[in-house]
Chains A and B, each alone.
Chain A
Amino acid sequence: MIWNDHYETMERDRLKQVQSRSLRELVERVYKKVPFYRRKMDEQGVKPSDINQIIDIVKLPFTTKQEMRDVYPFKLLAVDLSDIVEIHTSSGTTGKPVVDAYTLRDIDTWSEVMARTLSMGDVTRQDIVQNAYGYGLFTGGLGVHYGARRIGANVIPISGGNTKRQLMIMQDFRSNVLTCTPSYSLYLAEAALEEGIDFSKLPLRVGFFGAEPWSEGMRKEIEAKLHLKALDIFGLTEIIGPGVAQECMCQDGLHIFEDHFYPEIIDPETERLLPEGEKGELVLTTLTKEGTPVLRYRTRDITYLNYKTCRCGRTSVRMNRILGRTDDMLIIRGVNVFPSQIEEVLLQVEGVEPHYQLLIDRKGQLDSIEIQVEMIEKLFSDEIKMLEKTEKKIENALYSSLGVHSKVKLVEPKSIPRSEGKARRVIDKRQV
């Protein structure tokens, strides 16, 4: 089911005109209102008058994650603060979070793209959406909420966690749409099995799973265990939250809502634009955003684009599911984790910075993170209970810093392989 026929099935030439107009307006606006962008454009020697067609976008400077943090909290605002009606942020686990500030029209846009998103799974006002994405500063919960409300579906704002209650509500309210992370869906399936709940007897029909990397194999598993159609949802706080791209029932790539978010694929090394179908870093521009517009944001997500019209009838470009990332950021149970944060914690805990290594795995259905820390004189004790206390202390400090539980394992000195230059800090064994 297509929510917005006009934009979602628009001829591509016509769409380009729409995008060109939006881009011109965007650039004028940010050049005038956001000193950060004006400075960057001046440095690059580009004026708003140089931007006429959407292809002129390549003349504009990129925006990086670091810059998004540097402008914290409000230096990216292109409107008066009084015009902002809602603010969300990224998890901000690496220091300052990225701020996404919405005007009333931005919330309207968000509701629109999320209504399109849910419509891709044929959600209508007849449906009951169990929204198990977290509500709060995180964009997931409210993004889905606004979309469901726009459609007129019945949204249950249950938020994340509390598995027993999720299962109870699911049975009693007869939810037929589920939104959560893919790993949590499998966790629900496991818990249901223990409780003797048979998913094939429940009305669940479709699920929107995202906020962490997953695979085709995992999709098959989810579909078999939860007896629903599992669709991939994509978004990021820097752009708007969920509602940037969504898979339709054809499950053949994620449709990007191009009239609002313009995608490019670049070579992350040379920053050159890559042709259709080539893998590279996804770059996104918020064509219509008012509050905190973003020019050519380097997502660091690796994917490729497909401009062919989909079997569902939509003409919008499709991106493949995310294939990887260009940097060392890890997404563990939906939370962004950087190895540098772990260094910081180790430094804080004992005033020392031992060698360490991260082992990421998926045990059962949930991501697990084990941090191997090399033993040093300062941490050592002849008493086991003191060593276990040290492990616990590091684990607790990591939890309060990262927001995810990890297991700390003390290992012998020099047991973690050394490499020339940058240490190989992360071993990701997840098969996604």
Chain B
Amino acid sequence: MAVKQISIFLENTKGRLADVTRILSEDNINIRALSLADTADFGVLRIIVNEPERCLKVLKTHNFVAQATEIIAVEIEDRPGGLYKILEIFDKNDINIEYMYAFVEKKADNAIVIFRIDEPEKAYDILEKNAIPVLSSDIISNI
């Protein structure tokens, strides 16, 4: 099952990030990974959570504009060259990465990289051909 990321529109003003995290904590939603992209005026908060569907509902009841986006999560070795190995594969196969972010696993010596790719099917194929396992949403939720 594909991994869902929740993207949230935020104004680039003081306290907005705190507001989102408060709302999620009140509803007992756990953020597994996050990335924040911003401009001078606004930002997009992207999070991987334990329960994406419920997270989306909670955000919407609080008037946030948010959406679920399919992303690809890949486990890489947490050592020099670990990230390069996978980026090289993408590069060689003309896979364009819209954005990416990474976090380190607590229980293993691995890191998890989240990729947002325009053509996810193509990326899945390439990863499969190169024997790189893609993480399922269940695994991500339970890290």
Contact = CB atoms under 8 A, between A and B. Distances in A.
A163 to B, nearest CB: 27
Interface residues of A, number: 17
A414 interface: yes
Nearest to A374: B65
Interface stretch (B37-45, B77-85, B120-128): B37-45
A123 to B, nearest CB: 47
B65 A382 contact: no
A413 B65 contact: yes
Interface size class of B (residues with CB under 8 A): 20 to 34
B42 A411 contact: yes
A114 to B, nearest CB: 45
Contact of B9 (A380, A388, A409, A414): A380
Nearest to A414: B63
Nearest to B6: A382
Contacts of B99: 383
Contact of B44 (A384, A411, A413): A384
Given A375-B9, A388-B39, A412-B9, A380 B46 contact: no
Interface in A387-432: 387-388, 409-415
Contacts of A413: 63-65
Contacts of B42: 375, 387, 409-411
Contacts of A381: 7, 44
Contacts of A380: 7, 9, 65-67
Contacts of B46: 382
A224 interface: no
Interface centre among A381, A412, A413 (most CB of B within 10 A): A412
A413 B39 CA distance: 18
Nearest to A384: B37
A412 B67 contact: no
Interface in B1-18: 5, 7, 9-11, 16
A377 interface: yes
Nearest to A382: B7
Interface in A344-378: 375-377
Given A382-B5, A382-B69, A410 B44 contact: no
* Chain A binding surface SS class: loop
B98 interface: yes
A393 to B, nearest CB: 16
Contacts of B16: 412
Contacts of A384: 37-39, 44
A412 B41 CA distance: 11
A388 B43 CA distance: 11
B42 to A, nearest CB: 5
B31 to A, nearest CB: 16
A410 B63 CA distance: 15
A144 B46 CA distance: 58
B9 A410 contact: yes
Contacts of B5: 382
A67 B38 CA distance: 48
B93 to A, nearest CB: 21
Given A384-B39, A384-B44, A376 B65 contact: yes
Interface in B28-77: 37-39, 41-42, 44, 46, 63-67, 69
B67 A410 contact: no
Contacts of B11: 411-412, 415
A410 B39 CA distance: 11
B102 to A, nearest CB: 17
B65 A412 contact: yes
Contacts of A388: 39
A225 B99 CA distance: 50
A253 B65 CA distance: 53
A118 B12 CA distance: 51
A382 to B, nearest CB: 3
A383 B63 CA distance: 20
A388 B41 CA distance: 10
B116 A383 contact: yes
Nearest to B68: A382
B13 to A, nearest CB: 9
Q: Which 9 A-B pairs have the closest CB atoms?
A: A382-B7, A375-B65, A375-B9, A382-B69, A412-B11, A384-B37, A380-B65, A414-B63, A409-B41
Given A380-B66, A380-B67, A412-B64, 9 more contacts: A375-B42, A382-B67, A383-B98, A387-B42, A387-B44, A409-B42, A410-B41, A412-B10, A412-B11
23 contacts: A375-B42, A377-B65, A377-B67, A380-B7, A380-B67, A381-B7, A381-B44, A382-B44, A383-B99, A384-B44, A388-B39, A409-B41, A410-B9, A410-B41, A411-B11, A411-B41, A412-B9, A412-B11, A412-B63, A413-B63, A413-B64, A413-B65, A414-B63
Interface of B: 5, 7, 9-11, 16, 37-39, 41-42, 44, 46, 63-67, 69, 98-99, 116
